[in-house]
Amino acid sequence: MIKARHLEKGHTIGVISPASPSATRSEIPRAIEYIEAMGYRVVLGKNVNKCHGFTAASEAERADDLNEMFRRDDVDAIFVTQGGYGSAQIIDRIDYDAIANNPKIFTGFSDLTSLHLAIGRFAGLVTFHGPGMARFNTRDLTEYTKEYFFQAIGQTSPVGEIPLADPKKWLYTMAPGKAEGCLTGGNLTLVCATLGTRYEVDTAGKILLLEEVETEPWIIDHGLSHLRNAGKFEEVAGVLVGECKDCVPRKHDPGFYSDVGVEEVFEYYLKDLGVPVLYGLPLGHTEDLATLPMGVMTRLDADQKKFEVLESGVL
């Protein structure tokens, strides 16, 4: 895999909106102030936060901003405004040769799963499953998120073990064992959306990351069934399931759920694969979010409830 240069104070961060626009008009100015106060420069793409149906701009405009940021010599890293919806619309408009020839830090999560998988497959670049610009302010960027983000993109040593952010929470070993493999995956819905396309996720010999948010267990069941039917669990080395925020049945009686819980759904598909499965790390739509370099070597030890990033994502 190709790696970008690590981010240093004084470097320039390019901001694009490959999916949805920001929730509020103040979100990006607030984030720019925060990031510039840390010692970085920020430049905005020409089409940031336009409005075009569900997305921040047209497909051509969003793809042009992404391609231009990778081509620009004065940009060192590329952050997204947020996820939301629409990244998959532009993956056939991306200049993957330009990305491979101009490797830069690219970070985001959720809907950006589409771009992580496409860029990793066709440009061979390590990208980062981490926060977008919406988090960069004194209220939303927790110390845990901040620490692991700048460690992942700013240090040439491996991130190492990813711990729980809240010691009161608990990791669940769904299936025991140890495995090593390059990290792939992301948001379950977007991983499933690659199936049957030339951007299809490759899980053979990989540690597969899956996470979701505000999705009913039966819909998660549908996604996992889709992955199983596509053979994506047959050669997987291990599965890492992030803390799935608000993934509960929508119709339930007070005091108890009247439907199958999300842990039971993941167990049904993953427990008997014969590979390690660990559930509950802060790797998705949670207040605390650890940033992970996608495509690097990792180790999953479900017996000891440990997940380690063994390789740096930057040079």
Q: How do 306-309 and 297-301 pair as beta strands? A: antiparallel
**pLDDT the model gives residue 252:** 57
Q: What angle do CA 89, 22, 76 make, to 5 degrees?
A: 75
Instruction: List residues with catalytic annotation.
Output: 110, 211, 285
Q: Is the torsion defined by CA of 24, 29, 35, 37 positive or negative?
A: negative
Only one residue has tokens 């479900």, namely 302
Mean pLDDT split into 10-residue runs, the chain, 315 residues? 97 97 92 97 94 92 98 98 95 98 97 98 98 94 97 97 94 98 98 97 98 91 97 98 85 60 95 98 94 98 98 98
- pTM over 0.85? The answer is yes
pLDDT reported for residue 247:
78
CA distance 41 to 37: 9
CA angle, residues 118, 153, 75, in degrees to nearest 5: 75
Distance CA 248, CA 251 (A): 9
pLDDT in the model for residue 234: 97
Show the domains of the chain with their CATH numbers: 12-141 (3.40.50.10740), 160-309 (3.50.30.60)
What's phi and psi for 212, nearest 5 deg? -150, 170
Phi-psi region of 15 (alpha: psi -120 to 50; beta: other; left: phi over 0): beta
- CA separation, residue 20 to residues 119, 246, 289 (Å): 19, 21, 20
Query: Which pLDDT belongs to residue 51?
Result: 86
Q: Tens digit of pLDDT for each residue in 79-128? A: 999 999 999 999 999 999 999 999 999 999 999 999 999 999 999 999 99
